[in-house]
Amino acid sequence: MMQWFYNILIKFAEVILWLPALFDQKIKLGQTGRKSTFKILEEHIQSDDRVVWMHCASLGEFEQGRPVLERIKIQFPKYKILLTFFSPSGYEHRKNYPHAHVVCYLPLDTRTNAKRFLRLVHPDISIFVKYEFWPNYLYELSKSRSKTLLISAVISNKSLWYRNMKNKFAALLNVFDHIFVQDKATQNLLEELGIQSNIHLAGDTRIDRTLSIANNVKPIPELREFCDTENVLVAGSTWPEDEKVISTLVNSEVFKGWKLICAPHHISEPHIKDIEKRFHNSLRYSRVHDLLPEHRVLIIDNIGMLNKIYQYGKLAYIGGGFGSGIHNTLEPAAFGLPVIFGPRYDKFVEATALIQSNGAFSISKDPELIAVFDKLSDINTHQRASDAVRSFMKRNRGATDKIIVILDKENSI
């Protein structure tokens, strides 16, 4: 009954989504892109190709799957790599990703689409990232010869699947030949559900990726000139609510002798102008050649630099915690920066673990940010927090190796 209702719902969504697509550019991109998927597959995947298929919901999941995909391409070059996305925010950013042979949208999870997709792709290995559970695709995979993996999995007992559809959820998870989880809590939950798949406590593959970036980062002369010899707070992926709190800190006595680099999550002219109004003596990165000694705040008005900017930071503030949830805390952690963020972080395993390690700190209002910042300005307190962050990253690296070793050991690839 549940499967029947789900299939009706998906078919309805397939029709009805064209209505909001008339008004929402993001939905329109997804709908238009999905129309081309089968043609792309027919043109680029041959019947005798050996295929590794990785599916990511969006850009965040891609960053978790990326280290595994790149290792597979290096170690097992005979395979053709297919990368699919559900969200335009993933596809539009990575449609030209050089380490995949084919990049496209995943068609909606109807039974017809799933059958046609898998007939064209005939994957040897199918990899889903974090919490992608598409019933029709998984059902069709269960009848195929594909080895099916779930990597970087995090599952909460508060999730919709777990609370309302335990039996169906367990049946879906049992399709996976291997499940690589990020934390012990997820491992325990899966064991309680009676999952028969091989469950491996591997950790978060993003840690491998962020450490690789940090170890190979190149200097950015313009940023080095701005920072000079002063301490710098890097505020990454900020929203207006974050910027409001940070502006109170910047205007306080405890911020004297510090500079701020602010990289907003959304880049738009109105947003940049709003940030300029909040922070006096600020300068856009696009105008960095006009840098003067009185400029104390640098506003990053482009996309793609943030994970390299942290090399110049002493502390990091990560945005999103006053909205739907914080952004990437592992990027600054890879550089050993203590991390501060807003109150909404409970869905993020790594943020909770960093707090427990005394390397991260959550705040909910202006005075708390000032107090935490003041505490971390002390050289000894800062060193302890930085050591805690580095220790956390060192303990939790290696998830990619664990996944590749299992694949190789079983001759799955």
Residue-level pLDDT at 11: 62
Residue-wise pLDDT tens digits, 331-370: 999 999 999 999 999 989 999 999 999 999 999 999 999 9
Q: Sheet of 282-284: strands edge to edge?
A: 282-284, 297-299, 258-264, 231-238, 315-318, 339-341, 360-362
| Residue that is written with structure tokens 């041959």 in the block | 46
Residue-level pLDDT at 238: 98
Please report how the helices 166-173 and 135-142 are oriented relative to each other, as an axis angle in degrees rounded to 10.
Answer: 50
Quote the radius of gyration of the chain (alpha carbons, Å). 23
Residue-wise pLDDT tens digits, 69-100: 999 999 999 999 999 999 998 999 999 999 99
Domains of the chain: 24-203+398-409 (3.40.50.11720), 216-396 (3.40.50.2000)
Residue-wise pLDDT tens digits, 388-403: 999 999 999 999 999 9
Run of H or E residues at 375: helix 366-377
Q: How far is CA 283 from each of CA 250, 270, 276, 294, rounded to the nearest angstrom?
A: 15, 15, 8, 10
Q: What is the distance in angstroms between the CA of the first residue and the CA of the last residue of the chain?
A: 37
Q: How far is CA 25 from each of CA 108, 378, 397, rounded to the nearest angstrom?
A: 18, 47, 38
Query: What tokens were used for 254?
Result: 């405890």
Check: CB of residue 302 under 8 Å from CB of residue 285: yes
Check: CB of residue 370 under 8 Å from CB of residue 248: yes
Residue-wise pLDDT tens digits, 290-316: 999 999 999 999 988 999 999 999 999
